[in-house]
C-alpha cells in the first residue's frame, strides 16, 4: 500500500514549515510508522551529505533525524544553491547538474518535475507516511507557472495540505485568508486546515479570531503552537538568532558574507553557555568594525572569490591581520579555509566569472576550483592544542588546495592529511564541515584559544533534545487525531 502523503505549506518564508515537518516526522515515528521527510525543491546554502555521496538540504537531514531514518537524496530531489543574485547551482538527486540563471531554470522546471516525482514514487513504495515541506509561499503569483515546490506538487500528487502562519510577526489572519484567496478552487479544496505558529500570551484572547477564521474559510484550525523558547534546531538557511551569554569564557565571531554557506557548522558553538558567539553583519550605512574576540572563524562559501572580495571591501582583511598581531586565533572552514591562502582561481567559471582572486595571504597556499565536487562523510583525527580528537563531519567543496611550504596538518583522514596549522600556531583551517559538532572538539578549540570549557555537548544531542521538545509541544497543541482522520479519508488519485 502506497504511503499517505501530507504537505505543509506556509504563508511566508520562516513561517515554521521546517520545524512542523520535523515535529510530525518524530510524532509519526514514535507511533511506529516509517516516515520520510520530503522537500521537492529547496533553495538553500546549508546542505548535508548522504551515505551514497549525494547532497541534500540541511533541513531535510534534521527532519530525517526526527523521522529516525538514514539520509536519502530522494528526500530533496532538487537543491538550488545560489552563487549570485541571478545564478544558482542546480543539484538533482544529490549531484551537480548545472549552473543556471532564474529564467533558464524556470524553463527547465518541466524536466526537473520528472526528478521530483520519481523520488516521490520511490518513497511511496518504502514508507507509510511522507511529510512534504513546501517552499516560501504557495501564493507567489509570478512563480505559479510550472510550480513544483508548492501547489504544483500537491495537485499532481493529489495530497492534502496544511497551511502554517507565524503569528509572532503580526497579520496572521490576513496571511491565512489572503493566501487561501489567491489559490485556485481545486487548490483551496485540498487545504485541510491551518496551524498558527509562535503564539505568545493567553489563548482565550485568540479564540474569537480562530472562530472567525474557521467560519470565514470553512477550514479547521488544527493547532496553535506556542512560542518555544530556547529551541535549538538547525535553520534551513536563515542565520539563527543569537544566544545571550552572561559568563562567557570564549568570544567567537563569524563575519557574514553574502554567499556564506553551512553556517550550521557553528550551531554547537552558538548555543554553548560559556561561549559568546556572534555573527557580524556589514552595515550598508557605515563602516563595520569587527569587535574584539578570541577567535575569528571564516565560514564556507558558495562563491569564495566574491566573498573574499567582500571581506576586503569592508576592510575586514586588515582587521583580521590586526587581530592576529594582538594574539588572536583564526580558523577557516571549507571556503573560509581557501580564503586564508594567497590566491583562489576559477579557470572554468564554476562559481562565477572566470579568473583569479587574491586571498587573505595568511597561509602559504593557493586553491584552484574544478568542476568535480567532493561529497563525502568523513571520520578522522583532529590534532590541535596538543590533543588528538576523533571527529566526524562531511566535505562539500570544489577545488584543490596546494601548500607552498610544509605546514602542520590539522586532520588525518583515512591515513591522509588535510588542512593546516600555521607555523606560529595562530591560524588553522580545513575542508571538514561539522568539525566542531563534537563536544571534545569544542573543548579542544577552546584550549587552542586559551580557554577551558565545561559541559560541552555534541550537536546531535542538542538536536535530539530540540526535536523531542518540538514534537512534545506540537502533539500537545495540535489535533493529531483530526489530522490522522483527514489523512485516512483522503483519497489519493
pLDDT digits (tens, 9 = 90+) for 36-83: 999 999 999 899 999 999 999 999 999 999 999 999 999 999 999 988
**Rounded mean pLDDT of the chain?**
94
* Whether residue 260 has pLDDT greater than 70: yes
Distances, alpha carbon 160 to alpha carbons 191, 269, 476, in Å: 6, 39, 22
Contacts of 145 (CB under 8 A, 6+ apart): 106
* Whether residue 201 has pLDDT greater than 80: yes
C-alpha 342: how far from its chain's center? 30
Summarize the confidence of residues 176-204 as an average pLDDT.
Answer: 97
Q: Are strands 4-10 and 161-166 parallel, antiparallel or unpaired?
A: parallel
Tens of pLDDT, residues 415-444: 999 999 999 999 999 999 999 999 999 999
Pairwise CA distance, residues 59 & 417, whole Å: 30
For residue 234, the model assigns a pLDDT of 65
* Whether residue 209 has pLDDT greater than 50: yes
Contact 234, 264 (CB under 8 A): yes
For residue 493, the model assigns a pLDDT of 40
Tens of pLDDT, residues 462-483: 999 999 999 999 999 999 999 9
Per-residue pLDDT band at 86 (split at 50, 70, 90): confident
For residue 465, the model assigns a pLDDT of 95
* Whether residue 141 has pLDDT greater than 80: yes
DSSP letter for each residue of 359-407: ----SSEEEEEEEEEEEEEEEEEEEETTEEEEEEEEEEEEEEEEESS--
Total-model pTM: 0.92
* Whether residue 199 has pLDDT greater than 60: yes
**Is residue 43 exposed (0-12), middle (13-18) or buried (19+ Cβ within 10 Å)?**
middle
Summarize the confidence of residues 387-411 as an average pLDDT.
Answer: 94
Contact 137, 10 (CB under 8 A): yes
Cell of 32: 511506529
Share of the chain above pLDDT 70, in %: 97
Summarize the confidence of residues 179-189 as an average pLDDT.
Answer: 97
Active site residue ranges: 334, 433
Which of the two residues, 233 and 389, has the higher pLDDT score?
Answer: 389
Per-residue pLDDT band at 301 (split at 50, 70, 90): very high
Tens of pLDDT, residues 309-367: 999 999 999 999 999 999 999 999 999 999 999 999 999 998 988 999 999 999 999 99
Summarize the confidence of residues 122-147 as an average pLDDT.
Answer: 93
Which of the two residues, 410 and 141, has the higher pLDDT score?
Answer: 410
For residue 372, the model assigns a pLDDT of 86
Amino acid at each position: 500500500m502506497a504511503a499517505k502523503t501530507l504537505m505543509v505549506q506556509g504563508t511566508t518564508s520562516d513561517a515554521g514549515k521546517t520545524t512542523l515537518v520535523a515535529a510530525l516526522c518524530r510524532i509519526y515515528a514514535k507511533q511506529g510508522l516509517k516516515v520520510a521527510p520530503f522537500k521537492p525543491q529547496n533553495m538553500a546554502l546549508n546542505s548535508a551529505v548522504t551515505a551514497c555521496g549525494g547532497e541534500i538540504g540541511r533541513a531535510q537531514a534534521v527532519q530525517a533525524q526526527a523521522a529516525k531514518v538514514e539520509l536519502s537524496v530522494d528526500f530533496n530531489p532538487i537543491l538550488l544553491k545560489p552563487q549570485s543574485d541571478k545564478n544558482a547551482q542546480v543539484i538533482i538527486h544529490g549531484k551537480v547538474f548545472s549552473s543556471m540563471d532564474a529564467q533558464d531554470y524556470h524553463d527547465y522546471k518541466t524536466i526537473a518535475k520528472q526528478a521530483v516525482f520519481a523520488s516521490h514514487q520511490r518513497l511511496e513504495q518504502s514508507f507509510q507516511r511522507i511529510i512534504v515541506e513546501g517552499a516560501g509561499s504557495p501564493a507567489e503569483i509570478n512563480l505559479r507557472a510550472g510550480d513544483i515546490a508548492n501547489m504544483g506538487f500537491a495537485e499532481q500528487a493529489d495530497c492534502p495540505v496544511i497551511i502554517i502562519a507565524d503569528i509572532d510577526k503580526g497579520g496572521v489572519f490576513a496571511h491565512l485568508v489572503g493566501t487561501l484567496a489567491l489559490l485556485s478552487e481545486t487548490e483551496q479544496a485540498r487545504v485541510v486546515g491551518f496551524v498558527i505558529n509562535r503564539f505568545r500570551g493567553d489563548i482565550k484572547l485568540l479564540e474569537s479570531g480562530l472562530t472567525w477564521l474557521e467560519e470565514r474559510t470553512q477550514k479547521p484550525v488544527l493547532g496553535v503552537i506556542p512560542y518555544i523558547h530556547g529551541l535549538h534546531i538547525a535553520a534551513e538557511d536563515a542565520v539563527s538568532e543569537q544566544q545571550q551569554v552572561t559568563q562567557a569564557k570564549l568570544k567567537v565571531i563569524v563575519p557574514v558574507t553574502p554567499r556564506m554557506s553551512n553556517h550550521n557548522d557553528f550551531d554547537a558553538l552558538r548555543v554553548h553557555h560559556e561561549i559568546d558567539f556572534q555573527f557580524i553583519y556589514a552595515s550598508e550605512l557605515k563602516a563595520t568594525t569587527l569587535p574584539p574576540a578570541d577567535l575569528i572563524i571564516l565560514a564556507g562559501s558558495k562563491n569564495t572569490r566574491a566573498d573574499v572580495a567582500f571581506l576586503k571591501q569592508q576592510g575586514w582583511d586588515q582587521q583580521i591581520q590586526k587581530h592576529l598581531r594582538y594574539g588572536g586565533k583564526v580558523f577557516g572552514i571549507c571556503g573560509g579555509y581557501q580564503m586564508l591562502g594567497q590566491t583562489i582561481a576559477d579557470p572554468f567559471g564554476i562559481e562565477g566569472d572566470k579568473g583569479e582572486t587574491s586571498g587573505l595571504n595568511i597561509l602559504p597556499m593557493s586553491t584552484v576550483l574544478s568542476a568535480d565536487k567532493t561529497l563525502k562523510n568523513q571520520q578522522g583525527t583532529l590534532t590541535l592544542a596538543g590533543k588528538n580528537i576523533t571527529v566526524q563531519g562531511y566535505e562539500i567543496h570544489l577545488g584543490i588546495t596546494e601548500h607552498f611550504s610544509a605546514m602542520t596538518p590539522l586532520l588525518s583522514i583515512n591515513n591522509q592529511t588535510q588542512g593546516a596549522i600555521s607555523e606560529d600556531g595562530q591560524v588553522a583551517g580545513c575542508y571538514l564541515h561539522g568539525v566542531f559538532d563534537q563536544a571534545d572538539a569544542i573543548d579542544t578549540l577552546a584550549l587552542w584559544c586559551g580557554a577551558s570549557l565545561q559541559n560541552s555537548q555534541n550537536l546531535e544531542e542538542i538536536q535530539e533534545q530540540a526535536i523531542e521538545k518540538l514534537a512534545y509541544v506540537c502533539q500537545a497543541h495540535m489535533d493529531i487525531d483530526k489530522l490522522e482522520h483527514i489523512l485516512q479519508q483522503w483519497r489519493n488519485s
